[in-house]
Copies of this chain bind each other. A is one copy, B any other.
Amino acid sequence: MLDDGNCDNNACFPKKIIKETEWGALTSSEREDLFKLSVCRKYQVGEMIFHQADECRGLYLIREGLVSVRKQCLDGSEVIIRLARGGDTLGYRPFLADQPHLASAQVMQNSLICFFAASQIKKILLENPHFGFEFLQREARELGDAEERFQQTVSQSVRIRLIHLLLVLNQYYGMPIQKGSLDLELPISRQDMASMIGIRVESLSRTIKHLTDDGLLNFSGRHVRIHNLELMAEEISY
């Protein structure tokens, strides 16, 4: 699936990405300009794309793969801010705010990622208002998500938060098997799931057990079978 080393620069904006992301707002000449200086390469699982506190040098467009964005404290604890997939762009927050990275990005699944220098992007941003507008919309939605998550984490139990997480992961990794029930192949470890909802891995394990005991689902490693989606979704009607 992934080709080795640097990819053909022409391949850096597949149709799907042009169609579905902010990069579609570019003119073809702007796209060409970007191509010339872009660096696209394959990343292996575990590789870091950037580190918290690093200066932000530009944007990373994920063509394929999975990347986690995480913040860590000095005390060692860490929180996963979000997962990024094909089509997602990393680093625009620090780039736009003119701040260093406030989080680290680590590859979770082998990925193909294109880098665009900040200076290039800035140039386009000032020339093409549509591009900026797309970014505005994306940021606004993301800010909404962040506030939503804040509220949920503060006021909901671990059980509810886990169900929420599963429902979100279902959107990307779920495979319906019959009416109401579905299979889910988790892309991340227990540890990382715990970090996403701000709890310890032991608590996650126990909560999974409770959901299992209640007959809502079955875990087997990273494979989940959800027996009754609606029943589960009912719990989070807040």
Copies of the protein in its oligomer: 2
- Does residue A135 face the partner (Cβ distance < 8 Å to B)? yes
Chain A 119-148, CB-CB to B under 8 Å as 1, else 0, gives: 000000111010011011101111110111
- Interface size class of chain A, counting residues whose CB lies under 8 Å from the partner chain: 35 or more
- Does residue A174 face the partner (Cβ distance < 8 Å to B)? no
- Is A150 touching B97 in the complex (CB atoms < 8 A)? no
Q: Which residues of B contact A214 (CB under 8 A)?
A: none
Q: Which residues of B contact A95 (CB under 8 A)?
A: 140
- Is B154 touching A99 in the complex (CB atoms < 8 A)? no
- Is B142 touching A143 in the complex (CB atoms < 8 A)? yes
Closest to A128 in B: B129
- Does residue A167 face the partner (Cβ distance < 8 Å to B)? no
For residue A137, give the distance in angstroms from its CB to the closest CB of chain B. Answer: 6
For residue A162, give the distance in angstroms from its CB to the closest CB of chain B. Answer: 14
- Is B79 touching A154 in the complex (CB atoms < 8 A)? yes
How far apart sit A98 and B132, CA to CA, in the bound complex (Å)?
A: 15
* 8 Å CB contact of A99 from B93, B98, B141, B149: B141
Q: Which residues of B contact A149 (CB under 8 A)?
A: 150
Q: Which of A29-37, A68-76, A176-184, A222-230 contacts B (4 or more CB under 8 A)?
A: A68-76
- Is A238 touching B155 in the complex (CB atoms < 8 A)? no
Q: Which residues of B contact A127 (CB under 8 A)?
A: 129
- Is B140 touching A81 in the complex (CB atoms < 8 A)? no
Closest to A70 in B: B151
- Does residue A198 face the partner (Cβ distance < 8 Å to B)? yes
Closest to A135 in B: B136
Q: Which residues of B contact A147 (CB under 8 A)?
A: 71, 81, 102-103, 146
